[in-house]
Amino acid sequence: MGVDLASLSHAATQRMRRVSNVSKIIATIDKRAVLVRAPFFALLWWIMTGGDVASWLVGAPIVLVATLTSASMLSSSSWSLKGVFSFAAFFVWQSLRGGTDVALRAIDPRLPISPEVIEFPLRVPPGLLRVILANSACLLPGTLSVDLEGEVLKVHVLDGDSNPMAELKNLEWRVIQMGGASLRLQVDSDR
C-alpha cells in the first residue's frame, strides 16, 4: 500500500494556509479589548451558571471564543462612547414615539395613512453600522425596513407625506456618530 505524496503535500499546504489565516485574524485582535471583554464574559458565565465551578469545563472555552469573536468583530477603538449613549437615548425615545404613533393611527382612522416604499441612499459604510441603521429604521414612527440592497435601504412608511427622509437622515447621522465612522462622499447633491 503506497503513500500518495501529492495528496499529503496538498493536505499539508491547506493546513498551513488555515493556520496562517488564523494567525492573521489573531494578529488583528485588539489586545486591550481582550483584557476588558474576557472578565466581562467570564462574569456573565458565572452569573448564568450560578457560580457552579464544574460549569467552567464548558465555560472556559465558551468565554474564550466569545472574547476572541467579540474582539475581532468589534474594534473598541472605533466606537464613540458619547455616540453610543446618545444613540441609546435616541433609541428609547424613538421606540416610544414609534409605538405611540402606530397605536394612535390604529385607534383614530382620521390620522393620515399614505403608505409607500421609499428608497434611502446610504452614506453609512457597509458592515455592522449599516445593519444597525437598517434595523433601527423600524423604530421611527410608521416605518419598517423592507430591504437593504447595495447602497440603498428600502423602507415602508405609513405616511409618505410625513417627511421620512429627514427622519432617516437624522437616524443615519446618529449611527455614524455612534460608530465613529466617517461619512463617505456621495454624488447626491441633496445630501
Count: domains in the chain: 2
pLDDT for 105 equals: 85
In this prediction, residue 25 carries a pLDDT of 59
User: Does residue 189 form part of some domain?
Assistant: no
Q: What is the pLDDT of residue 170?
A: 92
Domain presence at residue 47: yes
50 or 36: whose pLDDT is higher?
A: 50
| CB-based burial, 64-76: b 16+ in 10 Å, e otherwise | eebbbebbeeeee
Grid cell for residue 161:
407625506
Q: Are residues 62 and 105 in the same domain?
A: no
Cell of 43: 462574569
Q: Report the pLDDT averaged over residues 103-118.
A: 88
Is 38 part of a structural domain of the chain? yes
Query: What pTM, to 2 d.p., does this model score?
Result: 0.59
At 190 the pLDDT is 41
110/59 same-domain check: no
Q: Has residue 185 been placed in a domain?
A: no
Same domain, 39 and 129: no
pLDDT digits (tens, 9 = 90+) for 37-82: 889 889 999 999 998 999 999 999 999 988 887 777 666 556 777 8
Mean pLDDT of 133-162: 89
Q: Which of 27, 51, 73 is the last residue of a domain?
A: 73
Residues 43 and 89 occupy one common structural domain: no
Q: Note down the domain range covering 52.
A: 5-73
Q: What is the 3-state secondary structure (H, E, C) of the chain?
A: CCCCHHHHHHHHHHHHHHHHHHHHHHHHCCHHHHHHHHHHHHHHHHHHCCCCHHHHHHHHHHHHHHHHHHHHHCCCCCCCHHHHHHHHHHHHHHHHHHHHHHHHHHHCCCCCCECEEEEEECCCCCCHHHHHHHHHHHHCCCEEEEEEECCEEEEEECEHHHCHHHHHHHHHHHHHHHHCCCCCCCCCCCC
Kindly state whether residues 25 and 108 are assigned to the same domain: no
The reply to whether 191 falls in a domain is no
Residue 190 lies in a domain: no
Q: Are residues 67 and 104 in the same domain?
A: no
User: 136 with 98, same domain?
Assistant: yes
Same domain for 27 and 114, yes or no, is: no
> Looking at residue 75, what is its pLDDT?
60
Same domain for 94 and 160?
yes
Residues 102 and 166 in one domain: yes
| 24 & 65 share domain | yes
Q: Do 67 and 137 fall into the same domain? A: no
